[in-house]
Structure 1
Amino acid sequence: MSDEDGDPQAWETLSTETAYDCQAFEVVHESVRLPDGTETGFDTVHEPEAVVVLAFTPDGEVVVIEEWRQAVGRTNRGLPAGTIEPGEDPAVAAQRELEEETGHVAERVERLTTVEPLNGLANSVHHHFVAHDCRPTGERNLDDDESIRVETADYDDLLSALATDDLRDGRSALCLLYHDRFDEPER
């Protein structure tokens, strides 16, 4: 956070230190000066950019995953998603994550949107993609902390699941809704 563009709302960063670091993210503490001159501390979560993949089979079904999520203490249903490797193109990461998590390979992948889902708390950036003509011809390669079941679902049923709280993963919900509202519904 800096005043590079002359934004009168910008905070001046006085110092930065990593307060906590683990495999998936780090918590960064900054000493900052607010526009009114007040000096205070601010903590943010820093994590690598990620991809979310709305993957359609040739029959128009959506490839979905069910994965245990320790933070909420339950199995969560959603779309394949994962971290972009350093220097990796987001579209390449989308194809890689789809195959690693589900064994499905896409004939083509198109960018849907990019969002900052938690920009009040984290520097997270999620790139959403639509993958077409996905077939289970690849090889799964799960991370050590992943336990994923793969299935397919009807697109309209997934949209309905959002209304009944049966699909609660925020990344997946945004991807589905954005696709439904703004993208050409090619399934």
Structure 2
Amino acid sequence: MTDDATHDEELAWETLYGETAYICPGFDIQREQVRLPDGTETDFDYLSESESVVVLPFTPDGEIVVIEEWRQAVKRVTRGLPAGGVEGEDADLEATAHRELEEETGYEADAVEHLTTVEPANGFSDAVFHYYLAEGCEPTGEQALDDDESIGVETTEFDDLLAAVEAGDCRDGRTAFGVCYYELFG
């Protein structure tokens, strides 16, 4: 049996060249020329975006703060957890979770705690989601939406959100994962 480092080396691709093929607000498309382990050379394109935080915010009464947001890619309103990108000045992910919660919902948390970190689509994207549990959330802040956001805010019971995920009514992947993770391990 090989050790992990040797195994990784046997499977690793070599990047021969890379460039940004397309730039837009929110993400870039990267194009790389790579050499596969068998020597084959090919192109590989992927979506590149900044890391994000996803917040599972509980009010003191035990309800979850959720957002309803128009999602142009799927042409409908989706229901989900507040989330947002880590910005250049965000060295502290907990501070980012506090900021994104307030900006998207107007709620502020007494405390946030890291739940997990995942790469949701690492076959075609370098996206990284850092999940945070936020407790003691109260509507004491001010919503500060980006120019391209239209967001409504409400609260719901955790069990109702979990049931919506189970029934396929909550199709936002970040939310479905966060709710299921919390149900299993939170």
Partner of 1:69: 71
Q: Is 1:40 matched with 2:42? A: yes
Q: 1:144 to 1:9 in 2, by over 3 A?
A: same
Whichever residue aligns with residue 121 of structure 2, its letter is: L
1:98 deviates by 0.2
Q: How many pairs were matched up?
A: 181
CA distance in 2 between partners of 1:96 and 1:12 (Å): 38
Q: Counterpart of 2:179?
A: 176
- Shift of residue 23 of structure 1? 1.1
Q: Distance in 2 between matches of 1:128 and 1:97?
A: 12
| Alignment root-mean-square deviation, CA | 1.5
Alignment-derived partner of residue 55 in structure 1: 57
Q: Deviations over 1:93-146 (max 9, x none)?
A: 111000000000000000000000000000000000000000000011000000
Distance 1:20 1:126 in 2: 22
Q: Structure 2 vs 1, CA of residues 18 and 135 (structure 1 numbering), >3 Å: closer, same or farther? A: same
TM-score by length of structure 1 reads: 0.94
Indicate whether 1:117 and 2:120 are aligned. yes
What SS class does the counterpart of residue 29 from structure 1 fall into? Answer: strand
Q: Determine the structure 1 residue equivalent to 2:130.
A: 127
Is the counterpart of residue 97 in structure 1 residue 74 in structure 2? no
For 2:19 and 2:87, the matched residues in 1 are separated by: 23
Give the number of the structure whose residues are more often helix, by fraction.
Answer: 2
Q: Indicate yes or no: 2:184 matched with 1:165.
A: no
Structure 1 segments, 4+ long, off by >4 Å, are none
Q: Larger deviation: 88-97 or 56-65?
A: 88-97
Alpha-carbon distance in structure 1 between the residues aligned to 2:76 and 2:32: 33
Write the letter of the residue equivalent to 2:38.
D
**What is the percentage of aligned positions where both structures have the same residue?**
58
Distance 1:33 1:57 in 2: 51
Which residues of structure 2 form unaligned runs of 5+?
Answer: none
* Counterpart amino acid of residue 80 in structure 1: P
